[in-house]
Chain A
Amino acid sequence: MKIIISNASQKPIYFQIAEQIKNQIISGELKEGEPLPSIRKLAQELQISVITTKRAYEELEKEGFIDTVGGKGCFVAMQNKELLREKKMRMVEDTLSQAVSDAKLLGVRLDELKKMLTLLYKEEE
Chain B
Amino acid sequence: MEYAVEIENLRKEFKGFTLKDVSFRIPKGYVMGLIGPNGAGKTTLIKMIMNLIRKNSGRIFVFGKDHIQHEAEIKSQIGFVYDVPCFYEDLKLKKLASAIAPFYPKWNQELFLKLMNEFELPLGKKFKKLSHGMKMKFSLCLALSHDADLILMDEPTSGLDPVFRQELLAQLSQIMLDEEKTVLFSTHITSDLERIADYITFINNGEILFSSTLDDILGKWGIIKAGKDLLEKKDIPGIMRSQKTEYGIEILTSNIKKAQTILPPDSITEKASLEDIMYFMSKGDKHA
Residues of A within 8 A of B (CB): 7, 10, 12-14, 40-41, 43-44, 47-52, 55
CB distance from B190 to the nearest CB of A (A): 13
Alpha-carbon distance between A14 and B214 when the two chains are bound, in angstroms: 12
Inter-subunit contact A50/B29 (CB<8 Å): yes
Query: B29 — which chain A residues lie within 8 A by C-beta?
Result: 50
Determine whether B155 belongs to the interface, using a CB cutoff of 8 Å to chain A. no
What is the number of contacts between chain A and chain B, taking CB atoms within 8 Å?
Answer: 50
B177-206 interface (Cβ within 8 A of A): 177-179, 194-199
Interface residue range, chain B: 20 to 34
What is the 8 Å Cβ interface bit string for chain B, positions 203-232, against chain A (1 contact, 0 not)? 000000000011100110000000000000
CB distance from B3 to the nearest CB of A (A): 15
Query: B219 — which chain A residues lie within 8 A by C-beta?
Result: 12
Contacting A49 at CB < 8 Å: which of B179, B196, B271?
A: B196
Inter-subunit contact A49/B177 (CB<8 Å): no
B129-184 interface (Cβ within 8 A of A): 169-170, 173-174, 176-179
Q: A40-B176, A40-B177, A47-B173 are in contact. Are A55 and B196 (CB under 8 A)?
A: no
A-B contact pairs, 14 of them (CB 8 A): A12-B215, A12-B218, A13-B195, A40-B176, A40-B178, A44-B176, A44-B177, A47-B196, A48-B195, A49-B198, A49-B214, A50-B29, A51-B214, A52-B214
Query: B199 — which chain A residues lie within 8 A by C-beta?
Result: 51
- Chain B residue nearest to A14 (CB atoms) is B215
Determine whether B127 belongs to the interface, using a CB cutoff of 8 Å to chain A. no
